[in-house]
Amino acid sequence: MLSVFGDRDRVLLSADVSVTQLLRLVKVTRTHIREEDDVVHPGVYTPGARDFAEDARRNVFGLLSERPGEEAYQALIGLAESGYYKNFEDWLRRKARLKAEMDSERLPLVVSPDVV
């Protein structure tokens, strides 16, 4: 995963990665980097490979959820219905709704010359 995502502070994925590819990566990371196996570090620690994998899982989901457009919105709704995020379905639907609201605010206002 490090070769795909870089280290804790940077993501190496290209901006032209499609929503479909991001969705696939979310499912792969969710399947193979399971939250129930996450390491809890009390106090000070030095991050290891598992910590980087956890970051990769979070980062790829972040890339998908921050991607503008209906395709990313539909991907989040699909994740809510897929079972990959058991017990987080409502959270995913809220995240998708907020994303749609943010996307609508990004749309440029086009004023027709016919409107006075």
- What is the predicted pLDDT for the residue at 14? 66
Q: Which amino acid is at 79?
A: L
pTM of the model: 0.74
**72 touches 20 (CB < 8 A):** no
pLDDT digit string (tens) for the chain, length 116 residues:
445 555 555 556 667 789 999 999 989 888 888 888 888 888 887 888 888 888 888 888 888 998 999 999 999 999 999 887 888 999 999 999 998 988 887 656 666 676 55
User: Residue 5: what pLDDT?
Assistant: 54
* CB atoms closer than 10 angstroms to residue 96: 20
